[in-house]
A and B are shown apart, each in its own frame.
Chain A
Amino acid sequence: MKRFAAPDAAIDDLWQEANLISEMQRPTSASPPADTAGGAVSTGPPRLTPLRELQLLEQHRAGDPKALSELLTSYQRRVYSICCRMVHDPERSRDLTQDVLLKVMNGLDGYDGRAKLSTWIIRITINTCLSDLQKQKVRQTASLDDLSTGSSSSDRSVELPASMGGQRELSGAEVVELGERRVAVERALGGLDADARAILVLRDVQDLEYQQISEVLEVPVGTVKSRLFRARASFRTALEQEMARLSGTAGDEMGTKTA
């Protein structure tokens, strides 16, 4: 198993792999719609165009029972993905996703079109996750048996499942199977405070523009940029720590310590 000489070198490896992944995943500007013959492989329902969303909204308001279902289906993957990245707990993510979709369903009559539908739904998602994290934080700080694992962030989520690089100590084989790189990134993201995590998820994972993030978080664009920079700085620090930790774990497995 590869041992990392130093965190920076490991991150260079991470970056090279991610660059390759990004190139493979990003569609070209002239590409036809996804999930068609010859197009990019899509494992979920394709995102609806804004026009199609408006059409479905109109159809839903006109009483079409299929329109709402199609709308929610198109968003379930995105909402679930955001929830997972925010709370790092599949069971809670599932519950939160259902909460979000129900809120969307019940709130569609009041949706006034001032923001894009996607922005509105993502706002509901982020607010739901942040509320949940706040509740978890309150529970953790109130608990007499708080056994923090040494994280500096009191917003640190409960134990990550193995599929996302859980906080429990993974065996060397498990790390290799998951991909140590992915583990480090997931853990670093999970270790940030909620606001920092949210803004990185919105910007990098969900690929929103500053203006959209501003509408989701309901703060000015300037504030978005400041928070984003600070979140990046926090993530950098967290990633360096995770890579060092992983290389330390790998070293222990091999019976040696890394420098």
Chain B
Amino acid sequence: MAGLDEQQLLELIESADSDAVETGLRALRADDPQQARRIEAMRRDRVLLQSLPPIDPPVDFLAELEPQIARPMLMDDVPTTATQPGAARRAAHRNRMRSQLMQAAVAASVALTVFVGAWITASSLGLFDSSDNTLAESDNPGSNESQLAVNDSSDIDNAADISNDSLDDVLLTGDLHHRAPNLSDIQRMTSRRLVASTNRDTAHAQPNPSTVNADAQPAFVMADFALVLNSKDETAAQSHLSAAIDTVTQHSAVIKNLTVPELKLIEQAWLARRAANGNPVGPLHAGVGDDPPANRRPGTANANRSFHLNVEMLQESVEQLIAEGLVAGSSDLMPDYDQQIELSEAGLRYTLAIPVSELKSVLARLNAVDAGNNQLVLRESLDTGPNAVQPMAWATDLNDILVIHDRLLREQPDAVLLLPVVLSQVK
């Protein structure tokens, strides 16, 4: 094994394939024992370095920067629409100009301190034009979209509008809210196989029940009831759900149903990286109104928008989508993106996928974690008010739910139950 180059030696040091490493080191020992010892030592060195802990900054470290963080917000007027190419560079230039002008303004104010009284008097008399601060231009420094995304400006606007109706509360304020599920949409979904997608028929498709041996795949059933999970925040909710399916060995997952704005952001980032790597592609989704009339549904604009994601082209993005949407469990159980959008827009932020037979034990584990704060509610009982879910409704609904569940157990014992989850903030 004479003459291993640096990259081959590095491979021996860093590879996680212990069998390959052992084979390589054995050959190296035979050829150059001293080099082999050194490589083994360098493997150990790597572990040492990896064990170095992060170093925490001083407490309130950012407090010193807070005034500077706040300052741009007072100056800038950043609209949300997409911009032309180069706008960000112009924006950065304007920001620099603003900064320099502000510094000059501060210096001028100091020089005029002696005449403060006259200054205030003159201001009150309206002698100074209040539109002096024309530095804050109305055109856009903001989003630095690539040219490919310019065509999507209307999509971005609509996405922002829709997000205001649905998940903006969660994203911006951290508050969790009730949203009445659109029952007609949900009922429509029960007749579809949720994880099938006609677009995923290429070799690069993510592992998906529709592309794997169909005989091995269970049937999927959308529950007629929802889990209302009371939790102090979304992170705790994810943790509780993940813990609840921890012991379910097969066909289990906790999925966060991505929204249109989230998918849009992931796509934008992916497009930018593709362009940077010399492989630009156009936007992959159809714009608003592109759906043929027969496919349009009343309601939100998002329902009319179809994301025909070509998995082959979006291989990287698919991995990130999985990473973003899969909280725990098997990615095979993730609804496709159209369905995730429908669920999330109906306020069903998560989907819990479990075998029908495991429902009661999963609920028991959830209650054990969260001291019985969770509720199962028939979806038509859900309300939009702040005190939407009434305890008495739960007591009544539980009998109905058990009837539904018992029927499922009888008729489809091997099915995977897709249980929508509504997050409710603990008061």
Contact between B144 and A113, CB atoms less than 8 A apart: yes
CA A19 to CA B62, docked complex, whole Å: 34
Contact between B64 and A39, CB atoms less than 8 A apart: no
Which range contains the number of B residues in contact with the other chain? 35 or more
With an 8 A cutoff between CB atoms, is A246 at the interface?
no
Tell me, rounded to whole Å, the shortest Cβ–Cβ distance linking A56 to chain B: 9
With an 8 A cutoff between CB atoms, is B72 at the interface?
yes
Once A109-B95, A226-B6 are accepted as A-B contacts, the answer to whether A14 and B269 lie under 8 Å apart by CB is no
With an 8 A cutoff between CB atoms, is A228 at the interface?
yes
CA A14 to CA B56, docked complex, whole Å: 23
Contact between B68 and A105, CB atoms less than 8 A apart: yes
Tell me, rounded to whole Å, the shortest Cβ–Cβ distance linking B111 to chain A: 27
Residues of A within 8 Å of B373, CB to CB, are none
Q: Which of B6, B50, B324 contacts A51 (CB 8 A)?
A: B324
Q: Which of B13, B42, B47, B369 contacts A37 (CB 8 A)?
A: B369
Contact between B272 and A94, CB atoms less than 8 A apart: no
Contact between B65 and A80, CB atoms less than 8 A apart: no
With an 8 A cutoff between CB atoms, is B135 at the interface?
no
Contact between B143 and A236, CB atoms less than 8 A apart: no
Q: Which residue of A lies closest to B9 (CB)?
A: A229
List residues 38-72 of chain B with CB under 8 A from any CB of chain A: 38, 41-42, 44-58, 61-62, 64-66, 68-70, 72
Residues of A within 8 Å of B95, CB to CB, are 106, 109
Which of B100-108, B237-245, B296-304, B379-387 forms contacts with chain A?
B237-245
CA A44 to CA B56, docked complex, whole Å: 7
Q: Which of A11, A30, A80, A109 contacts B142 (CB 8 A)?
A: A109
Residues of B within 8 Å of A113, CB to CB, are 144, 146, 268-269, 272-273
Which of B73-81, B203-211, B348-356, B402-410 forms contacts with chain A?
B73-81
CA A68 to CA B72, docked complex, whole Å: 10
List residues 1-32 of chain B with CB under 8 A from any CB of chain A: 6-7, 9-10, 13
Contact between A65 and B70, CB atoms less than 8 A apart: yes
Q: Which residue of B lies closest to A163 (CB)?
A: B55
With an 8 A cutoff between CB atoms, is A36 at the interface?
yes
Contact between A32 and B265, CB atoms less than 8 A apart: no
> A6-25: contact bitstring with B at CB < 8 Å (1 yes, 0 no)?
00100110110111011001
Tell me, rounded to whole Å, the shortest Cβ–Cβ distance linking B136 to chain A: 11
With an 8 A cutoff between CB atoms, is A185 at the interface?
yes
> B321-349: contact bitstring with A at CB < 8 Å (1 yes, 0 no)?
00110011000000000000000000000
List residues 241-279 of chain B with CB under 8 A from any CB of chain A: 242-243, 246, 261-262, 265-266, 268-269, 272-273, 275-276
Residues of A within 8 Å of B320, CB to CB, are 50-51
Contact between B42 and A232, CB atoms less than 8 A apart: yes
Tell me, rounded to whole Å, the shortest Cβ–Cβ distance linking B243 to chain A: 6
Contact between B52 and A32, CB atoms less than 8 A apart: no
> B81-113: contact bitstring with A at CB < 8 Å (1 yes, 0 no)?
000000011011001000000000000000000
Contact between A98 and B50, CB atoms less than 8 A apart: no
Tell me, rounded to whole Å, the shortest Cβ–Cβ distance linking A227 to chain B: 9
Tell me, rounded to whole Å, the shortest Cβ–Cβ distance linking A106 to chain B: 7
Q: Which of A17, A22, A112, A205 contacts B144 (CB 8 A)?
A: A112
Once A37-B236, A64-B172 are accepted as A-B contacts, the answer to whether A102 and B7 lie under 8 Å apart by CB is no
Q: Which of B61, B261, B266, B275 contacts A76 (CB 8 A)?
A: B61
List residues 200-259 of chain A with CB under 8 A from any CB of chain B: 200, 204-205, 207, 222, 225-226, 228-230, 232-233, 235-236, 239
SS of B interface (majority): helix
Tell me, rounded to whole Å, the shortest Cβ–Cβ distance linking A78 to chain B: 7
With an 8 A cutoff between CB atoms, is B141 at the interface?
yes
CA A207 to CA B50, docked complex, whole Å: 8
With an 8 A cutoff between CB atoms, is A137 at the interface?
no
Contact between A105 and B45, CB atoms less than 8 A apart: no
Residue from the set B55, B95, B242 with the largest chain A CB neighbour count within 10 Å = B55
CA A15 to CA B369, docked complex, whole Å: 38
Residues of A within 8 Å of B6, CB to CB, are 225-226, 229-230
Contact between B54 and A77, CB atoms less than 8 A apart: yes
Once A63-B76, A109-B142, A189-B49 are accepted as A-B contacts, the answer to whether A54 and B328 lie under 8 Å apart by CB is no
Residues of A within 8 Å of B213, CB to CB, are none
CA A93 to CA B235, docked complex, whole Å: 32
Contact between B51 and A25, CB atoms less than 8 A apart: yes
List residues 31-71 of chain A with CB under 8 A from any CB of chain B: 32-33, 35-39, 43-44, 46, 49-51, 54-55, 58-59, 61-66, 68-69
Q: Which residue of B lies closest to A80 (CB)?
A: B57
Contact between A112 and B88, CB atoms less than 8 A apart: yes
Q: Which residue of B lies closest to A68 (CB)?
A: B69
Q: Could you list 17 examples of A-B contacts with CB < 8 Å?
A: A11-B41, A11-B45, A32-B239, A33-B239, A38-B239, A63-B76, A65-B69, A68-B72, A94-B57, A105-B68, A109-B92, A110-B144, A205-B49, A205-B52, A228-B10, A229-B9, A232-B10
Chain B residues packing against A (C-beta within 8 Å): 6-7, 9-10, 13, 38, 41-42, 44-58, 61-62, 64-66, 68-70, 72-73, 76-80, 88-89, 91-92, 95, 141-144, 146, 171-172, 235-236, 238-239, 242-243, 246, 261-262, 265-266, 268-269, 272-273, 275-276, 320, 323-324, 327-328, 369
Given contacts A109-B91, A113-B272, 6 further A-B contacts (CB under 8 A): A32-B328, A46-B235, A68-B69, A77-B57, A112-B272, A235-B49
What 7 pairs across the A-B complex have the smallest Cβ distances? Answer: A36-B239, A204-B49, A113-B272, A114-B276, A15-B44, A80-B57, A61-B142
Chain A residues packing against B (C-beta within 8 Å): 8, 11-12, 14-15, 17-19, 21-22, 25, 30, 32-33, 35-39, 43-44, 46, 49-51, 54-55, 58-59, 61-66, 68-69, 72-73, 76-78, 80-81, 84-85, 94, 97-98, 101-102, 105-107, 109-116, 181-182, 185-186, 189, 200, 204-205, 207, 222, 225-226, 228-230, 232-233, 235-236, 239
